[in-house]
């Protein structure tokens, strides 16, 4: 078995850190317009002016999406904003990542808030006036680019939280780290990126937070609804490849060689017994799926080799290791029984995203107060994956879902995240900003 980390090759050397005049003007406008507003309002609520600014940020970012490790414009906007607020700012971490550090006037803990910045290779099909017409290069092809997973909302919400918390710095206990992360959707082939690279480049070395908090918008909830869960929330995600080697022969004389197509079909069937028969599914769900089979060139030629590719998802890191081992053993011995061979490569992706139970319990009253008790619910397990998991493996973490499907629409029929028709109700932005703000205030003051 060969186990490798995904995107383990060297990253590109070109890094950009530029601020355009337009971005500078936007950040200065925000600073001038809102520098004193927080003191005039309840510290726990944002003003209507800031809410509108967050909406404008979101639309600007949505109209100018950028793919993973290419978030140059977005990171420039963020860096200019944080610098205008007087924060300590670090740029170019994990290529395009930006981190702002706000020091409160009073002693207290350090809390990290995270937003991801990258868009997807999706051509937008919505009819909003700020729809993306951007294109980019993905795996050598020119593709449409869209914020089809809501990362534009994440960035705008965290920029709004930074604006508000900087305005109450004199009353703030402890410190706040604002993490604007690139490449959550995965670095391009041959590159490193995302949360794992930010940590490898020393994100938590100087200021290790006491807790890290994140929000992800999603269409499975109506506007302002909050889905939380203690313990595992989102699955680990790993990719595997199996190269099945046989012996080529004429299709009329299969006994003259070793048929890797038949062997591959046996491997596929046998691998399905790993979850159904070999691991204890009472501990945590798991799934192994094949997504690609490639082999052969002609109907009457039995080929030398077949290529298989798939994904492994589960909610327990011990079971994850067990599946890795059993997948390798099953493939190798199934092939050997027919005179073939199987070479298995497992590429580790994102670990299980697991919420610290004590942290969730501590901040649940805050979440109820901000969103309303009738809009907060315990979320089901989600088989999607998130590289927020790397942060939550370092310090106690909490990750929640924020609904963005309009109240008059059934979330079950709404276009899902990653759809070209993905749509977000911007009324949810205020809830997201105020969650960040109130989590910080309550955690730092021990409430």
Domain boundaries, the chain: 31-231+355-444, 236-350
Residues 15-38 have a mean pLDDT of: 42
- Give the single-character DSSP code of 41: S
Cβ neighbors of 277 (< 8 A, separation 6 or more) are: none
pLDDT in tens, 47-80: 999 999 999 999 999 999 999 999 999 999 999 9
Which tokens is 424 given? Answer: 């977000």
With a cut of 60, say whether residue 233 has pLDDT above it.
yes
pLDDT in tens, 144-181: 999 999 999 999 999 999 999 999 999 999 999 999 99
Task: Give the pLDDT band of residue 43 (cuts 50, 70, 90).
Answer: confident
With a cut of 60, say whether residue 15 has pLDDT above it.
no
Cβ neighbors of 388 (< 8 A, separation 6 or more) are: 114, 184, 195, 212, 214, 216, 353, 397, 399
With a cut of 90, say whether residue 186 has pLDDT above it.
yes
According to the model, what pLDDT value does residue 35 have? 43
With a cut of 70, say whether residue 5 has pLDDT above it.
no
The residue among 224, 238, 237 whose CA lies nearest residue 400 is 224
**How far, in Å, are 71, 149, 261 from residue 136 at the CA level?**
11, 17, 37
- As a whole number, the mean pLDDT across the chain is 92
138, 228, 350, 443: the catalytic one is 350
Task: Give the pLDDT band of residue 192 (cuts 50, 70, 90).
Answer: very high
CB 181 within 8 A of CB 216: no
Based on the number of CB atoms within 10 Å of its own CB, is 386 exposed (0-12), middle (13-18) or buried (19 or more)?
buried
∠ Cα 125 145 92 (to 5°): 150
Residues 341-354 have a mean pLDDT of: 98
Dist. CA 386–CA 118, nearest whole Å: 13
Dist. CA 260–CA 306, nearest whole Å: 6
Print burial letters for 399-418: b (CB count within 10 Å at least 16), e (below 16).
bbbbbbbeeeeebeebeebe
According to the model, what pLDDT value does residue 366 have? 98
- Give the single-character DSSP code of 412: G
pLDDT in tens, 46-55: 999 999 999 9
What is the chain's length?
A: 447
Task: Give the pLDDT band of residue 414 (cuts 50, 70, 90).
Answer: very high
Dist. CA 181–CA 163, nearest whole Å: 18
The strand pair at 211-222 and 106-116 is best described as parallel
According to the model, what pLDDT value does residue 205 have? 97
Dist. CA 155–CA 80, nearest whole Å: 13
Which of 30-39, 231-240, 265-274, 421-430 comes out lowest in average pLDDT? 30-39
According to the model, what pLDDT value does residue 447 have? 67
Dist. CA 63–CA 127, nearest whole Å: 12
Dist. CA 262–CA 271, nearest whole Å: 14
Task: Give the pLDDT band of residue 10 (cuts 50, 70, 90).
Answer: very low
Q: Is 224 left (phi over 0), alpha (psi -120 to 50) or beta?
A: left
Which tokens is 70 given? Answer: 């290419």
426 is known as an active-site residue:
yes
Whether pTM > 0.95 for this model: the answer is no
CB 114 within 8 A of CB 198: no
With a cut of 80, say whether residue 89 has pLDDT above it.
yes
228 is known as an active-site residue:
no
Dist. CA 182–CA 390, nearest whole Å: 14
Residues 100-125 have a mean pLDDT of: 98
DSSP bridge pairs for 256: none
Residues 227-246 have a mean pLDDT of: 98
**How far, in Å, are 115, 199, 232, 250 from residue 393 at the CA level?**
17, 11, 12, 53
pLDDT in tens, 366-376: 999 999 999 99
The highest-level CATH class for domain 236-350 is alpha beta
Domain 31-231+355-444: homologous superfamily in CATH: Zn peptidases (3.40.630.10)
According to the model, what pLDDT value does residue 270 have? 98
């Amino acid at each position: 078995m060969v186990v490798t980390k995904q995107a383990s090759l060297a990253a590109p050397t070109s890094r950009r850190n530029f601020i355009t005049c337009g971005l500078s003007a936007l950040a200065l406008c925000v600073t001038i317009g809102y520098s004193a507003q927080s003191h005039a309002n309840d510290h726990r609520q944002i003003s209507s002016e800031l809410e509108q600014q967050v909406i404008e940020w979101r639309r600007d970012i949505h109209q100018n999406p950028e793919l993973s490790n290419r978030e140059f414009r977005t990171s420039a906007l963020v860096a200019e904003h944080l610098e205008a607020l007087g924060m300590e700012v670090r740029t170019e971490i994990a290529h395009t990542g930006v981190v702002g550090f706000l020091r409160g006037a009073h002693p207290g803990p350090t809390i990290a808030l995270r937003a991801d910045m990258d868009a997807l290779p999706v051509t937008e099909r919505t009819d909003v006036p700020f729809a993306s017409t951007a294109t980019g290069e993905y795996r050598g092809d020119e593709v449409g680019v869209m914020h089809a997973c809501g990362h534009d909302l994440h960035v705008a919400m965290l920029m709004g939280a930074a604006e508000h918390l900087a305005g109450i710095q004199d009353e703030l206990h402890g410190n706040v780290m604002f993490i604007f992360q690139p490449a959550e959707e995965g670095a391009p082939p041959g590159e490193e990126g995302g949360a794992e690279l930010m940590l490898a480049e020393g994100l938590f070395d100087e200021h290790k937070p006491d807790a890290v908090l994140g929000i992800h918008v999603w269409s499975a909830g109506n506007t302002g609804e909050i889905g939380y869960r203690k313990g595992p929330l989102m699955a680990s995600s790993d990719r595997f490849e199996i190269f099945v080697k046989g012996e080529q022969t004429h299709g009329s004389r299969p006994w003259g060689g070793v048929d890797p197509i038949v062997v591959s079909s046996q491997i596929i069937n046998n691998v399905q017994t790993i979850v159904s028969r070999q691991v204890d599914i009472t501990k945590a769900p798991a799934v192994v799926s094949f997504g690609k089979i490639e082999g052969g060139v002609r109907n009457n030629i039995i080929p030398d080799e077949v290529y298989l590719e798939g994904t492994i998802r589960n909610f327990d890191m011990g079971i994850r290791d067990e599946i890795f081992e059993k997948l390798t053993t099953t493939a190798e011995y199934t092939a050997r029984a027919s005179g073939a061979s199987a070479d298995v490569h497992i590429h580790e992706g994102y670990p299980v995203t697991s919420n610290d139970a004590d942290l969730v319990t501590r901040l649940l009253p805050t979440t109820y107060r901000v969103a309303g008790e009738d809009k907060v619910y315990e979320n089901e397990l989600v088989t999607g994956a998130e590289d927020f998991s790397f942060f939550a493996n370092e310090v106690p973490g909490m990750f929640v879902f924020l609904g963005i499907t309009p109240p008059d629409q059934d979330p079950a029929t709404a276009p899902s995240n990653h759809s070209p028709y993905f749509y977000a109700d911007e009324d949810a932005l205020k809830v997201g900003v105020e969650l960040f703000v109130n989590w910080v205030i309550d955690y730092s003051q021990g409430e």
